[in-house]
Amino acid sequence: MRTEYSGELDEETLAATWFDQFATWFADAVEAGLPEPNAMLLATASAEGRPSARTVLLKGYDRRGFTFFTNYESHKGHDLTGNPRATLVFPWYHLHRQVIVSGTVTKVPREETEEYFAVRPRGAQLGAWASPQSTVIGARADLERWLAAAEERFGDGPIEAPPHWGGFRVAPDEVEFWQGRGSRLHDRLRFVIAEGDVKVERLAP
């Protein structure tokens, strides 16, 4: 299988900041009707350097970085606690584009987690309490039981965010914008951010 790519990204049309460029491409991905345009691959590594990757949803981005929410006790949560570096990939294949972000990860302030948790559907709130994410469990029935226990615990009342659940923010030191082009001579422009200084590099495809 082979797709011929078309499009272009050059230094003249590239936005002045990674944030503005991302905002433009993210809007394009939404507008193009891509399924789950905010789905991104999150790669982490353990403190010993063992890599792993999975999909998570981008829940916010601003000039500080990219935010997602998860279980702090999950595989990724343990990786990020021991080795707070991550890479994100937005795989916008339909647009012949990908964005790759690498950076340092911190937990978002608790108030930010609580604010987001409060607007999640009730089922998702209960699920966060019910599922010991990434642990080996005996059977599907265990999950149903833990969900029932969470439902009983909270009744019709408000559900607070579990202490083991919350947001992480990836503060980028590199953001690469990849645009597929003909003859496999793709455009790759990368913002490199170091101590307040930003430069743009072009990479060979």
Gap between the terminal Cα atoms of the chain: 19
Cα–Cα distance measured from residue 88 to residue 99, given in angstroms and rounded to the nearest whole number: 8
Is position 145 annotated as part of the catalytic site? no
Active-site hit among 97, 184, 188, 202: 184
Closest CA to 80 of 115, 112, 40, 53: 53
Segment interacting with ligand FMN (CB under 6 A) among 64-72, 90-98, 121-129, 181-189: 64-72
Give me the DSSP letters along 138-184: S-HHHHHHHHHHHHHHHTTS--PPPTTEEEEEEEEEEEEEEE--GGG
CA dihedral in degrees (159, 163, 165, 169; nearest 10)? 120
50 binds ligand FMN (CB under 6 A): no
- Rounded CA gap, 189 and 26, in Å? 16
Q: Which is nearer to ligand FMN, 56 or 200 (CB)?
A: 56
Tell me: does residue 56 bind ligand FMN (CB under 6 A).
yes
Q: Is 38 in the site for ligand FMN (CB under 6 A)?
A: no
Rounded to whole angstroms, the maximal C-alpha distance in the chain is: 60
Instruction: Decide: is 57 part of the binding site for ligand FMN (CB under 6 A).
Output: yes
134 binds ligand FMN (CB under 6 A): yes
Tell the smallest beta-carbon distance from residue 155 to ligand FMN (Å). 26
- Select the span of 25-33, 67-75, 90-98, 111-119 touching ligand FMN (CB under 6 A): 67-75
- What is the set of active-site residues? 184
Site residues, ligand FMN (CB under 6 A)? 36, 39, 52, 54-57, 68-71, 74-76, 133-134
